[in-house]
Structure 1
């Protein structure tokens, strides 16, 4: 997919799963879930460390299942966690769908 088609597809995915800033449901498809998680992780500032409580509060503003979404952002390597603290990885380090195990 070229960049423009990819952006259009991602926009379509977000339109299907978002109601304003609320995530209606977590996509079952890994590819669509990654689009939603990348949207959500952008709610966190780069180079800022967050407590688990802060992460939960931010995610809760968009969906009630903050625990699943928090784990998914770690699993998809969009954020990292150490000793109860979390931080967003720079977008340049995000893995593509094919690189995620």
Structure 2
């Protein structure tokens, strides 16, 4: 995905520093509207989930709530942008490989 959007390491670092301003915190105050920045933020948030582990919706929410007040939208974005997948009945979530 980085190649598709032409995201450089410097760009990632700059965006993360701008959106996660308090050092040592994972709290996101504003969710970006621009696609490139959204992808950088979602990549960063996805790192909170372990590969090859399945999560319930409640567990996903518990991880996302401290990161952003609208955790439901972030959960949906993680799925829509292809970072996570979920079962048809929405009882199980996992990182996409």
- Please tell me the TM-score bracket, short chain as reference: 0.7 to 0.9
Q: Which has the higher strand share?
A: 1
Q: Which ranges of structure 2 fall in alignment gaps of 5 or more residues?
A: none
In the other structure, the counterpart of 1:59 is 64
Secondary structure class of the residue paired with 1:80 = strand
So what's the TM-score if we normalise by structure 2? 0.84
The two structures have a TM-score, normalised by structure 1, of 0.81
1:64 Cα deviation after fit: 1.2
RMSD: 1.5
The ranges of structure 1 where at least 4 consecutive aligned residues each deviate by more than 6 angstroms after the TM superposition are: none
**Structure 1 portions without partners, runs of 5+:** 91-101
Structure-2 residue corresponding to 1:99: none
| Greater percentage in helix | 1
